[in-house]
Amino acid sequence: MWKMSDSIITADGLVKTYGDFTAVNGISFKVKKGEVFGVLGPNGAGKTTTLEMLVGLRKPDGGSADIGGFDVVKDLNNVKEVIGVQLQSTTLFELLTVEEILHLYASFYKKQIPIQPLIADMLLTDKTKSRVKSLSGGQKQRLAIALALVHDPLIIFLDEPTTGLDPQARRTLWDIIFSLKEKGKTVVLTTHYMDEAHVLCDRIAIMDQGSLIALDTPSELVRSLQSENAVEFRFEEDSAALDLNTIEGVKQVGSQQDAMILYTDQLQTTLTSLIQTADSHGLKLADLQIRTATLEDVFIHMTGRSLREA
């Protein structure tokens, strides 16, 4: 039944509007079989809405999408058999035990996998007989992923799987996502953490205000800046009169809250010129940092805002 093609998901001009407001504004992309595909963007960018249209929870107002050759609107029943979905708002039955809730979910599907190995894969073996309400945030999140896997889907959708988790619980979840990829699953996840997108994803679609503004591998996205380094600083005094583009070696100028960012691949030249320029204007530099350019910088370059403040 499967179409033999490289891509397993195709979104073609997807649109979602709420009254006069366009939450998703005609986005198109393809997801390749076996990849971890990230949708990165600030709060309100339209990531969840996009994911909900792909899994059949919201009907697109325009465009279409297919998963494994099945249209997500017309062939939803077929789509449901091959996808597993973990949403931000997954409500779990608090009084059931871990194994009870997994058996319940498994009973909804024709195809099922053994529950105990699934519990072990999600590092929940010692919680098998615990009630859901007694689990920590990270354990609940891993249970939600287990529930998305009970019917052995080919494609797993995870909506902000690590939001609200502590660093250790986040890392555990990253390992689980890596192991899903190793098993040949295709994973589509949304996140607003750039470090997470960089580490986990083979390719990343960056969304902002309902539109897809970039799509590539993390390293190609960063390379598109054509600058290896970011020099971040503040001036202690008003520097409105100074044009930072005149500083030597600067390819681009960005800003984040009250900090200025210079992108350069001639670090020494830029630093020398920055200090000389500051001196000649009587300006004092503060909070100077030099770092390698990141996905956050790609977003700043494309939108003029940072992922955190957007």
Query: Tokens 């503004």 identify what position?
Result: 213
Q: Which stretch binds ligand ATP (CB under 6 A): 47-55, 100-108, 179-187, 216-224?
A: 47-55
Q: Which stretch binds ligand ATP (CB under 6 A): 41-49, 111-119, 181-189, 254-262?
A: 41-49
Contact between 14 and ligand ATP (CB under 6 A)? no
Both tokens assigned to 48: 């969840």
Contact between 306 and ligand ATP (CB under 6 A)? no
- Which x/- pattern, by CB under 6 A, does the window 176-195 give for ligand ATP? ----------------x---
Contact between 44 and ligand ATP (CB under 6 A)? yes
Dist. CA 301–CA 285, nearest whole Å:
22
Contact between 198 and ligand ATP (CB under 6 A)? no
Burial 75-106 (b: 16+ CB within 10 A, else e): eeebbbebbbbbbeeeeeeeeebbbbbbeebb
DSSP assignment, residue 133?
G
Contact between 280 and ligand ATP (CB under 6 A)? no
Query: Tokens 């931000």 identify what position?
Result: 88
Within 85-235, residue ranges assigned H as helices are 98-106, 115-121, 137-149, 167-182, 194-200, 218-223
Min dist. Cβ of residue 258 to ligand ATP (A)? 25
Contact between 48 and ligand ATP (CB under 6 A)? yes
* Amino acid sitting at position 167: P
Min dist. Cβ of residue 54 to ligand ATP (A)? 12
- The residues binding ligand ATP (CB under 6 A) are 18, 21, 23, 41, 43-49, 192
